[in-house]
Amino acid sequence: SGDDKKNIISEFKLDPEAELRFEIETKNEKVLLTLKSGSAEVFGTELVKGKTYEFTSGAKIAVFTWQGCIVELKGKTDVSYVAKETPMVLYMNCHAGLDQMRLNAEKNNTKGPMCMVVGPNDVGKSTVCRILLNYAVRMGRRPLYVDVDLGQGQISVPGTIGSILVERPALIDEGFPQEAPLVYHDGHKSPGDNPALYKKLLTQLGSTIKDRLEINKKTKMSGCIINTCGWIKGVGYKFILHTMEAFNVNVILVLDQERLYNELVRDSPRFVKVVFLPKSGGVVERSKGARGEYRDQRIREYFYGTPKNALYPHSFEVKFSDVKIFKIGAPALPDSCLPLGMKARDHLTKLVLITPNPGLLHHLLSVSFSEKDDDDMILSHCAGFICVTNVDVERQQLTVLSPQPKPLPNNLLLLSELQFMDSH
Ligand code: ADP
């Protein structure tokens, strides 16, 4: 019976440099992981011996050991096996190379490595970033994590790009703590939906980060790890080149794609080190549906937290007259109608004031930090996000879900294409 399955306990003895991989697919399933003896890590975060870690549906995990260990799984996994072949030694070598650059940077008071991880979807880019950040922080470094993947981003909500300072290893079952993230609103699931906007935001995030690195010496020498999206052909490749420029990237790790590796060797300046890395056999491919679910889950976590770390958002009403809601991108005008000096593609990053209407229902809105509602508003970062849960045209007010209580920190809001159905 189901109850029996929940109590299944399996023990795994891992040789040095092996990893236990497991996946939980079944909804509402819980699996508990405990390190019994030896030492082990999950994507670069060390497990504490005897402590129990909880994973839920959707988890795809590898428990890797350098020295060998015994671990126990309790509960029903859909997949679980031990793999002896992993690229972890190569990833560790990358970390060692980056750390050598940090030591040099410290000596010469220059910037540490600006390292970008690229490759197609589902090759473990985010996982490699996490491993490298964890190894860096375990050695006392304080790197920045930059994520420019709009659709599957790990900072704030989908439809944004941003950065966090990493001061502690990622939590095994929750990822990196997100204190004071630096977030820019794009509002789309894919950078191709508004390339002009996305490039502008990359440039803006790049220059803000440049300033931040100058302020903090420890972070400056620690450098950045930059995660990118899996779109690597055509326009996607242009975005990669733009990211390289915007962040002054000097190390590129290319996962799995030799063709992309060769293109980047050809197209990057001499001082950029381009390194090819194989993907791990454990990386699991995700369907389009699974990507959509991941986005929903990210937004849900933004408002409600995780089972272990619940958040309690607020719901309140906002008068139409108390806010200004903008959408980014005006309809294109023929060249002959454009004001002098304006380029035809400028309309893509223009702000358009919208009248609140039932079409806003379920949409995310970012709350801008901007003081003025001119076109530069898109270049200012966000205070946070709210979700429209009701539009009352008669009473001229919105109901919103917000992480913070009333009032909103600013009355300037930007509309996102992303939606969230609040089922609480
Ligand atoms: P990408 O960023 O390239 O899209 P991810 O790093 O998000 O890929 O990896 C995809 C999925 O595979 C994630 O759910 C991750 O937890 C899982 N994964 C990565 N490496 C391993 C591994 N060695 N064993 C098991 N699962 C893994």
Residue-wise pLDDT for 221-242, tens only, equals: 999 999 999 999 999 999 999 9
pTM given for the model: 0.94
Report the chain's mean pLDDT, rounded to a whole number.
93
Q: Which residues on adjacent β-strands are paired with residue 79?
A: 23
Is residue 159's pLDDT more than 70? yes
Instruction: For ligand 1, pick from 55, 89, 127, 134 the residue to mutate: most ligand atoms within 8 Å of CB.
Output: 127
| Rounded average pLDDT over 64-88 | 97
Q: How far is Cα 347 from Cα 332, in angstroms, rounded to an integer?
A: 6
Q: How far is Cα 369 from Cα 22, in angstroms, rounded to an integer?
A: 42
Is residue 209's pLDDT more than 90? yes
Q: How confident is the model at residue 335 (pLDDT cuts 50, 70, 90)?
A: low
* Length reported for the chain: 424
Is residue 5's pLDDT more than 60? no
Residue 283 Cα, ligand 1 centroid: separation in angstroms? 4
Task: Find the helix or strand (DSSP H, E) in which 12 lies.
Answer: strand 9-14
Task: Find the helix or strand (DSSP H, E) in which 147 lies.
Answer: strand 144-147
Instruction: For ligand 1, pick from 45, 60, 131, 149 the residue to mutate: most ligand atoms within 8 Å of CB.
Output: 60
DSSP alpha helices (H): ranges in 230-353? 235-246, 258-267, 288-304
Give buried/exposed letters for 176-185 (b at 16+ CB in 10 A, else e).
bebeebbbbb
Is residue 3's pLDDT more than 70? no
CA atoms within 13 A on the CB side of 170: 24
In this structure, the number of other CB atoms found within 10 A of the CB of residue 52 comes to 11
Report residue 84: phi and psi, to 5°.
Answer: -95, -25
Contact predicate 251/273, CB 8 Å? yes
Residue 9 Cα, ligand 1 centroid: separation in angstroms? 24
Please report the atom of ligand 1 found closest to the CA of residue 128: 6
Residue 156 Cα, ligand 1 centroid: separation in angstroms? 19
Dihedral through CA 45, CA 97, CA 205, CA 127, nearest 10?
-30
Q: Residue 1: what pLDDT?
A: 42
Give Cα 157 distance to the centre of its chain: 8
Closest by alpha carbon to 221, among 109, 100, 92, 98?
A: 109
Contacts of 218 (CB under 8 A, 6+ apart): 141, 142
User: ipTM above 0.95?
Assistant: yes
**For the chain, percent of residues with pLDDT exceeding 90:** 83
Instruction: Tell me the two tokens of residue 75.
Output: 């509960």
Residue 336 Cα, ligand 1 centroid: separation in angstroms? 50
Q: How confident is the model at residue 419 (pLDDT cuts 50, 70, 90)?
A: very high
